[in-house]
Amino acid sequence: MNNQTVKIKICGLSRPVDCAAVSASGADYAGFIFAPSRRQVSINLAQSLVRQLDVSVVPVGVFVDESDDYILQAVRQAGLAIVQLHGSPDPGKILRLRKALPKTIGIWQRIAVSLDLAAAEAFKQATADMRNLVQDAALPDAWLVDSCRKDQVGGTGETFNWAAFDQLDRSIPLVLAGGLNPDNVRQAIQMIQPDIVDASSGVESQGYKDQNKIEQFCSQVRQQHIKTN
């Protein structure tokens, strides 16, 4: 077994100061939300913010039910490197985007873990979504596993039952999201062994990104490693 450093994504950037904080922290990915949200950014704003990131930080666009054309425009104009799909898993959408996007652009698919269901039922539903995409040859470049509640589009800021999800499909990289913060991310890594951890509300104060919390989060993650064959 070899040890691999877990990568870090900070999501929901909407101000130049957020980009400065993420760049200074040494995070690997920066997320920009294009779907309706208090953190939503326009394509023009995202373009400006991406230019303010350190070149080592990979820009990720988060989309829910936006059209293919809108996603393609956002990728081209804002300079996104990864498309993160948060709508219901749709093989057709992934396959269409694969054909339309440059081969260098990655696609991540969110797999929602329901907080309204018992852990066993939530696991069954999440893994079924994964299998459906695999069967339709619509495999993304990474699964992003996040908590959700019924009739709520955005992230919950709540953790799901990590212990029930230690047997997720690991044939492709796993991004762990959902209520991660500087106080719980070490435990999450130890239990799930994700390739990437993703934080948003957990590194905020009064609804805005907090540079100190971002630095604390990154520091905690860097102390952890995942095992690889």
Residues marked active site are found at 11, 146
Separation CA 204–CA 212 (nearest Å): 9
CA angle, corner 8, sides to 4 and 9, nearest 5? 145
CA angle, corner 147, sides to 109 and 164, nearest 5? 100
**Contact predicate 202/220, CB 8 Å:** no
Separation CA 43–CA 33 (nearest Å): 10
Helix (H, G, I), strand (E, B) or coil at 121: helix
| CA-CA-CA-CA torsion sign (156, 179, 35, 92) | negative
Q: What token pair was written down for 55?
A: 């070149």
Separation CA 62–CA 190 (nearest Å): 26
